């Protein structure tokens, strides 16, 4: 039986040149193919909420994107606005500068208030750790730091760093995290082969802009 990759995918467009027509197309494709969510710029949340209507597709957006070094107060305001505009899921970029500075207290304090605010509104939280610019030791430390705070997901990448999702990073994260915390792999996932490898490594969601090509490839490989 063929593997159905579509339910794993957050169908994504986050380019700074994104237009309304791109969002309309994205939402239509997500409904047609049964993707888990669409992940879009905050500016388009209200539009996408209308387009998705009563479908089962979740509405995700990004916070502190793409570099994560915004002030915590700014991220909290972004979260409040995203909730008001109808987001179901919030992909929050953590402060990579703080990781490199080993400022774990800063990271913990920020994540705690962001997660509490989102969870109080019943929203799903994904913390983006930008694994492609972290050492294995730093990635492990991030997992250990965030696990007790109980975000719904840790997410590998924004797609804006020099390296996106890797099987190695997902395997390492899965080994470190409790089963209650899911993993979203994103960044550079352009083939069904890599998508399936990431799922096999432990990813529960995949952030993809090449979603249609990935689904098409998966069907071509059906026995």
Which pLDDT tens digit goes with each residue over 158-182?
A: 999 999 999 999 999 999 999 999 9
pLDDT value of residue 1: 60
Domains (range + CATH), the chain: 6-220 (3.20.20.70)
Closest to 166 in 3D by CA, of 141, 137, 138, 202: 202
pLDDT value of residue 223: 65
> Any idea what DSSP says for residue 12?
E
User: What number is the average pLDDT over the span 116-121?
Assistant: 98
222 pLDDT above the threshold of 80? no
In this prediction, residue 221 has a pLDDT band, given cuts at 50, 70 and 90, of confident
133 pLDDT above the threshold of 90? yes
CB 208 within 8 A of CB 195: yes
- Tokens, residue 209: 């802009």
Distance, in Å, from the CA atom of 122 to the CA atom of 21, rounded to the nearest integer, reads 30
pLDDT value of residue 220: 87
pLDDT value of residue 2: 76
135 pLDDT above the threshold of 70? yes
- The pLDDT tens digits of the residues spanning 38-85 come to 999 999 999 999 999 999 999 999 999 999 999 999 999 999 999 999
> What's the mean pLDDT when you consider all of the chain?
97
Helical packing angle, 104-120 and 136-146, nearest 10°: 50
Active-site amino acid positions? 91, 155, 184
Distance, in Å, from the CA atom of 166 to the CA atom of 198, rounded to the nearest integer, reads 7
Q: What pTM did the predictor assign? A: 0.97
> Any idea what DSSP says for residue 94?
P
């Amino acid at each position: 039986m063929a593997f159905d990759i579509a339910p794993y995918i957050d169908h994504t467009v986050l380019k700074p040149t994104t237009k309304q027509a791109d969002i309309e197309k994205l939402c239509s494709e997500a409904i047609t193919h049964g993707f888990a969510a669409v992940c879009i710029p905050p500016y388009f949340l209200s539009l996408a909420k209308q387009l998705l209507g009563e479908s089962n597709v979740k509405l995700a957006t990004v916070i502190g994107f793409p570099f994560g070094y915004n002030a915590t107060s700014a991220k909290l305001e972004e979260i409040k606005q995203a909730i008001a505009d109808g987001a179901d899921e919030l992909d929050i970029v953590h402060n990579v500068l703080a990781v490199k500075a080993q400022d774990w207290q800063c990271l913990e304090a920020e994540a705690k208030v962001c997660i509490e605010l989102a969870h109080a509104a019943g929203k799903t939280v994904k913390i983006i750790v930008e694994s492609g610019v972290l050492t294995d030791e730093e990635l492990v430390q991030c997992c250990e730091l965030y696990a007790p705070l109980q975000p719904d997901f840790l997410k590998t990448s924004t797609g804006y760093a020099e390296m996106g999702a890797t099987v190695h990073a997902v395997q390492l994260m899965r080994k470190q995290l409790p089963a209650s915390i899911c993993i979203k792999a994103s960044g550079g996932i352009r083939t069904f082969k890599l998508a399936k490898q990431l799922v096999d490594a432990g990813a529960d969601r995949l952030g993809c802009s090449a979603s249609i090509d990935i689904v098409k490839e998966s069907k071509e490989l059906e026995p």
